[in-house]
Structure 1
């Protein structure tokens, strides 16, 4: 990397939910060279999952600037920033369709530019569904980050299988792993169930898991049992949550040793003795810190639940087993392939050491340094999907973000550089609230009526 680049790095992160903002912002920090001063500008893509101030505070990642934008507004911001200082790095922390739209928009925006930033994208956690679809939608970025050795191998196989360039695939690790390693039981012994917004989906399955959590708390009155929730009613995260556990819990009598908690997952893990989940990425956070971790089999081991990803991990278990005192022991080879405790370190006081963890991002840093050194000669972004290769698919993806088939903003796209007035802000908040009300209250009622 040029000497000037090691002194400062100007980064923009575009995210569409609280979890993706966390992934994008922390990834940007991990990718910065040692000693570099990073200016981080955050852009929140306007949509159903735009994070609330509370969610942003809970994520705990600070940005030098943060504002809500449409895709068209973001494209204008990265080309015509008022500071007149170009970005070095753009991190696209979006759902696949959003990444594809922005890649085409950036290609159009930079068609006459003498130089452009390095563009990075990836996944916020475990990739257990829509692997091919999601990867091809991310193709075209300079770096497509894979959170583990296993993911890197799968990503390259998909790209090579369709004849796409796989050179962008770069192995890293999840950027939010870390914290003190588990050293033994706390007082009181604490069991944490990490809830997920959309897994499982049905009322019956969610009610079953809640009832089993309550039963576990009653069977072990000396334990503290925590239901770790991602969002409060009315908020959305990466996935839609139609039946919040809070709503189900209101109709039940909870034992005194069971509590509903929010907050940063890392802080909850500081006091956890057993992490229980269906398939949450929290399992990888716990495994990285050597916290005993159980991935539930009660509802089956199925692709729709995502717990099939943990086959071979040694972590699969049922509530019956956990009630009886079972504590799963992870398979070290499986853990190492997931980018957890990089290098396959054995459990111990240095198993979660920052030095070994930081090394997981070194290849990506070196690639970015090389690209920044050549940024004046970087070729145009070249996504796999084009109007010629996917004429029945791509235009619709772009249109959702008010972009035409060539990536240019369509007439009527939201204007950039202009903050919305009070009336527009009020209308947006009302519309977003109405949408969330429809998802969490109206839709389930209609679905139940349809099942009669």
Structure 2
């Protein structure tokens, strides 16, 4: 299996899936260069705890040559939707022998969306992580057509464990807040979260309150983060907008592998992050903040009925809790025997070798989608710096033309 990722979250997912494969499988992990390519530090954190080495970053052309040399039976396209479509439909489409193309989503995917399916409809298998997601995406596939089957896997990093700390069990004296790039959207809402974390730090000096960043401000993520938490905290401190009893170092900021932070965690909090599932897997009490709503837009709808929803008032009181067993069984913590993704891939490979496999056909094939596909190829084939210069020039030209 050749796994191709394009961002930090997809790379972490791909490394985890490769780690779950039988030891007899030969695997290779790469990062394809795009404007959201993870930094060296992000790459190292993403593969931490897995058997994969830090993945090389390849241009689209070098990726193609690497695939020709490797001759994979399976290509796992662990990428954002437009990149999956461009790789499967054009850049890797005529590999011979044709590999089985597999894709999927790296985290919570409730509710299922048509857009996610459309971009991956050229793949032979779509991997998701709960029975609910299998049902919802299967229904979308029947309605829209294209694509192959939908398979079930455990979210791979739920079963990864950090190396045992030297000197015995780690001290659990940390509260970890996991950021999410997309929500909450407003600056004021993010500042409210930071103030609630600061209130907890003041009330509980025995706890180290840490904001676990997906990326430093200079690094790229799968999704753009308009208001970076570390920058907001610095601005609040410099402008004197912290309460008088809150020192500047009340809240700290750190990157790195999530499982390493959870090793020391007494509590976990997020507005919406798949890392909440990692906390549950490690029996770390948690809070999923509901102050800004519980909805598909907030990416926290799946936590309804879990027992983990709470408010910033609960956070200030360290009111962490564990989810119900019933919710866990229905959402992401199914028995490992229910996962069928490896068996499904193996069957597809056998069919391909025997000449019985009919490749999936993308719903996005056709002239009406050609322009969007060309844009996706540009992201893969043009160096990011050149793209950024091009985007800036385009914006300037638009502003210039508006003056006439």
Q: TM bucket by the smaller chain? A: 0.7 to 0.9
- Residue 36 of structure 1 aligns with which residue? 24
Distance change in 2, residues 1:137/1:324 (3 Å): same
The number of aligned residues is 375
8 Å Cα contact 1:29/1:38 also seen in 2: no
- Residue 174 of structure 1 aligns with which residue? 155
- Residue 46 of structure 1 aligns with which residue? 33
- Residue 341 of structure 2 aligns with which residue? 364
1:219 aligns with 2:212: no
Provide the aligned C-alpha RMSD in A.
3.1
Structure 1 unaligned spans of 5+ = 1-10, 344-356, 404-412, 415-423, 443-452
SS of the residue 1:239 aligns to: coil
**1:383 paired residue among 361, 371, 382:** 361
**1:144 paired residue among 98, 121, 126:** 126
How far the C-alpha of 1:130 sits from its partner, in A, is 6.7
SS of the residue 1:98 aligns to: helix
Structure 1 CA distance for aligned equivalents of residues 201 and 62 of structure 2: 50
Structure 1 CA distance for aligned equivalents of residues 264 and 189 of structure 2: 27
8 Å Cα contact 2:197/2:315 also seen in 1: no
1:296 aligns with 2:284: no
Structure 2 CA distance for aligned equivalents of residues 329 and 65 of structure 1: 35
- Residue 106 of structure 2 aligns with which residue? 124
Distance change in 2, residues 1:367/1:337 (3 Å): same
How far the C-alpha of 1:224 sits from its partner, in A, is 1.7
How far the C-alpha of 1:291 sits from its partner, in A, is 1.4
Deviations 1:311-365 (A, max 9, x none): 111110001123334332312122112222x32xxxxxxxxxxxxx5x454x222
**1:56 paired residue among 23, 43, 53:** 43
How far the C-alpha of 1:274 sits from its partner, in A, is 1.2
Structure 2 CA distance for aligned equivalents of residues 238 and 65 of structure 1: 17
Matches within 5 A, 1:271-282: 271-282=264-275
- Residue 374 of structure 1 aligns with which residue? 351
Structure 2 CA distance for aligned equivalents of residues 150 and 14 of structure 1: 26
Structure 2 CA distance for aligned equivalents of residues 437 and 223 of structure 1: 45
Deviations 1:162-203 (A, max 9, x none): 3456x510011111113569xxx9856422111122211221
Structure 2 CA distance for aligned equivalents of residues 67 and 107 of structure 1: 17
Runs of 4+ aligned structure 1 residues displaced above 4 Å come to 185-188, 428-438
SS of the residue 2:156 aligns to: coil
Deviations 1:224-271 (A, max 9, x none): 211111111110111111221111111326645532121110011111
How far the C-alpha of 1:285 sits from its partner, in A, is 0.8
- Residue 353 of structure 1 aligns with which residue? none
Structure 2 CA distance for aligned equivalents of residues 275 and 65 of structure 1: 29
How far the C-alpha of 1:378 sits from its partner, in A, is 4.8
TM-score, normalised to structure 1's length?
0.75
8 Å Cα contact 2:280/2:322 also seen in 1: no
Deviations 1:3-44 (A, max 9, x none): xxxxxxxx22211101111111221232x32x31524141x2
Matches within 5 A, 1:233-244: 233-244=217-228
Structure 1 CA distance for aligned equivalents of residues 338 and 263 of structure 2: 23
- Residue 262 of structure 1 aligns with which residue? 255
- Residue 398 of structure 2 aligns with which residue? none
Structure 1 CA distance for aligned equivalents of residues 300 and 391 of structure 2: 27
SS of the residue 1:233 aligns to: coil
Distance change in 2, residues 1:93/1:378 (3 Å): farther
1:97 aligns with 2:82: yes
Deviations 1:385-418 (A, max 9, x none): 1445xx43x2123211349xxxxxxxxx95xxxx
How far the C-alpha of 1:88 sits from its partner, in A, is 2.0
Structure 2 unaligned spans of 5+ = 163-168, 396-404
SS of the residue 1:51 aligns to: coil
How far the C-alpha of 1:275 sits from its partner, in A, is 0.8
Distance change in 2, residues 1:297/1:250 (3 Å): same
8 Å Cα contact 1:186/1:272 also seen in 2: no
How far the C-alpha of 1:140 sits from its partner, in A, is 2.8
Distance change in 2, residues 1:86/1:307 (3 Å): same
Matches within 5 A, 1:408-447: 414=381, 428=383, 430=385
How far the C-alpha of 1:216 sits from its partner, in A, is 1.5
- Residue 17 of structure 1 aligns with which residue? 7
- Residue 397 of structure 1 aligns with which residue? 372
